[in-house]
């Protein structure tokens, strides 16, 4: 049972996570949409050239800072170490639980002192 539990947990640790859309891609798409909206506002005359440049610089700066923070937050998970730690923990926990569930042997001194009563007594 311990081996099966360890294999089951190791499978989840080694199973690759499927990523449909990364954070970088979604941030780039959002900022492109913001730039397109900004350009359409500029072409319609809703904003001036100075505000357009300022907003475009802000969009580019925001995207650059988000991409830098995403690169610095990447963590490497080492599944082999975690698999061994979890397997060891499960083994120790299981053995300690089974030892607590085992029937306790009565000491031999108690066995002699407690004798069944006969019918005459």
CA pair distance 26, 63, nearest whole angstrom? 11
Q: What residue spans of 1-121 are helical by DSSP H?
A: 2-14, 23-43, 49-72, 79-101, 108-113
| 119 found inside a domain | no
| 112 found inside a domain | no
| 114 found inside a domain | no
Q: Is 86 exposed, middle or buried (CB count within 10 Å of its CB: 0-12, 13-18, 19+)?
A: middle
Closest CA to 39 of 16, 31, 98, 69: 31
pLDDT tens for 53-111 read: 998 888 888 887 777 665 555 556 667 787 788 888 888 988 888 888 877 766 565 55
| 58 found inside a domain | yes
Percent of the chain surpassing pLDDT 90:
1
Distance between alpha carbon 59 and the CA centroid of its chain, in Å?
32
| 117 found inside a domain | no
């Amino acid at each position: 049972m311990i081996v099966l539990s360890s294999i089951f947990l190791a499978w989840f640790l080694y199973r690759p996570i499927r990523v449909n859309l990364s954070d970088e891609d979604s941030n780039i798409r959002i900022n492109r949409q913001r730039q397109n909206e900004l350009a359409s506002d500029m072409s319609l005359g809703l904003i001036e050239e100075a505000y357009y440049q300022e907003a475009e610089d802000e969009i580019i700066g925001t995207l650059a800072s988000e991409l830098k923070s995403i690169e610095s937050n990447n963590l490497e998970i080492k599944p082999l170490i975690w698999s061994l730690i979890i397997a060891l923990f499960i083994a120790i926990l299981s053995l300690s639980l089974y030892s607590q569930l085992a029937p306790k042997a009565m000491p031999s001194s108690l066995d002699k002192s407690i004798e069944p009563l006969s019918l005459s007594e």
